Structure 1
Amino acid sequence: MIKAKKASPPARPAPSTTRSIPTASSAAASSRAPPLSSEPHIDALALGVRTGLPDDLLHLRDAFPRERWTEALPETAAFWLQMHGGFRAQQAHMADAAARWRSGALDPRGLHAALIPTLQAFLQHLDGHHRIESGHYFPQFRLIEPRIQTGLDLLDRDHDAIHADLDALYHSAVAFHQAVAAPSPDAPDHANRLADVLDRAAPGLIRHLDDEEDIVIPLMILKGGSAA
């Protein structure tokens, strides 16, 4: 077992070159579109509300549905799906660690060893992935296929919401790490808080990954190298 006192605290997601990660005291405004509250249609599709995408955002997926995505995917599309698969696997691993903590199978040190290294990688890689998407790929996609503008706006807003979750995860994880490393008698309380934050963040992430794939993977397939 990795001793908590030798483990490093989670690294905070790197500051975005396109926007700041929202915090409890300061949320960065999106420069891409008006706030959600000014667009009722988008409001209904906010990440914490929607259960899928409406038909008008799925016309490319209808032209190239998921069951055909195994057919000679372009390299960028295959890599995109691989990255998303990694995020899903990390989320599942962290959920399992939290469940084992709640069942009594792990003590605080055991939870620290099982969770913190994965969370560290998750925070850094997901933030970097989103910055590349919003800063590089999405602007290209807007030029290649103007019909998916609304979908890309939605995905960018998802990124802002998810980054707020990443910030909450970071702060909860640091508090837990410090309590375990001390050691402090309130380590179990911090473990419970971290597990709760993980629970709240997971559904939005999975929803976003599924919906993003439905919007951008068919574009990459149908447009080939021009969408890479």
Structure 2
Amino acid sequence: MLYLRDAFPRERWTGALPETAAFWLQMHAGFRAQQVQMADAATRWRSGQLDPRGLHAALIPTLQAFLQHLDGHHRVESGHYFPQFRLIEPRIQTGLDLLDRDHDAIHAHLDALYHSAVAFHRGVAGQSSDAPDHAHRLADTLDRAAPSLTRHLDDEEDIVIPLLALKGASAA
């Protein structure tokens, strides 16, 4: 699979990308930006700059959008693009299998984030004394999920963007 990255390295990922590749990178940039925004909210919580309500306002809307968009994105990739890529370029089967397994592992993180967020939301909405504990658990869950997702986005781009750039419209 490295032949794709070697044939079309990141340094060449500029304005000359096919529309689908540019859109893919735009989606991934959005996920990365949301991760930064959520990590920032967790950092502000941990430093005492936010109380539970402030963390709720800063984190929950972004987390909700992040969970929805990432789940939908993975469904489209695994259900549409990856099967198509397998036909177009059989040499990347192993890489696509890895990315599909990553989707499963990331889904476990998304599920944990969802459940942590629900517990936190209930604690804040009910003005429960355990809201701070739920906030800490949610922040810790965010920390655990981030490295896997970041690595997955990078790995996926190293396969998908060169494939789309080199194979053109037939890959989209």
Q: TM-score normalised by the shorter chain: which range applies?
A: over 0.9
Name 1:161's counterpart in structure 2.
105
Name 1:209's counterpart in structure 2.
153
Task: State the secondary structure of the residue aligned to 2:127.
Answer: coil
State whether structure 2 residue 65 is matched by structure 1 residue 121: yes
Structure 1: any 5+ residue segments left out of the alignment?
Answer: 1-56
Amino acid at match of 1:140: Q
1:197 pairs, out of 141, 147, 152, with 141
2: distance between equivalents of 1:71 and 1:184?
A: 51
Question: What is the aligned-residue identity percentage?
Answer: 87
State whether structure 2 residue 51 is matched by structure 1 residue 107: yes
2:42 pairs, out of 84, 87, 98, with 98
Amino acid at match of 2:118: V
Name 1:83's counterpart in structure 2.
27
State whether structure 2 residue 117 is matched by structure 1 residue 173: yes
Name 1:29's counterpart in structure 2.
none
Structure 2: any 5+ residue segments left out of the alignment?
Answer: none
Task: State the secondary structure of the residue aligned to 1:123.
Answer: helix
How far did 1:71 drift? Answer: 4.5
Name 1:61's counterpart in structure 2.
5
Amino acid at match of 1:222: L
User: What whole-Å deviation, never above 9, does each CA across 1:63-108 have from its counterpart, x for those lacking one?
Assistant: 1111001041100000000000000000000000000000000000
1:186 pairs, out of 130, 136, 140, with 130
2: distance between equivalents of 1:130 and 1:218?
A: 19
Amino acid at match of 2:61: P
1: distance between equivalents of 2:30 and 2:64?
A: 14
| Shift >4 Å, 4+ stretches | none
Structure 1-normalised TM-score? 0.75
Name 2:165's counterpart in structure 1.
221
Task: State the secondary structure of the residue aligned to 2:35.
Answer: helix
Higher helix residue share: 2
1: distance between equivalents of 2:17 and 2:7?
A: 15
Name 1:134's counterpart in structure 2.
78
- Spell out the pairing of 1:16-31 with structure 2 (5 A cutoff): none
**Mean Cα displacement is larger for which, 113-122 or 65-74?**
65-74
User: What whole-Å deviation, never above 9, does each CA across 1:110-134 have from its counterpart, x for those lacking one?
Assistant: 0000000000000000000000000
User: What whole-Å deviation, never above 9, does each CA across 1:184-204 have from its counterpart, x for those lacking one?
Assistant: 001000000000000000000
How far did 1:178 drift? Answer: 0.3
2: distance between equivalents of 1:102 and 1:193?
A: 11
Task: State the secondary structure of the residue aligned to 1:183.
Answer: coil
What's the RMSD between the two structures over aligned residues? Answer: 0.5
Task: State the secondary structure of the residue aligned to 2:92.
Answer: helix
User: What whole-Å deviation, never above 9, does each CA across 1:154-203 have from its counterpart, x for those lacking one?
Assistant: 00000000000000000000000000000100100000000000000000
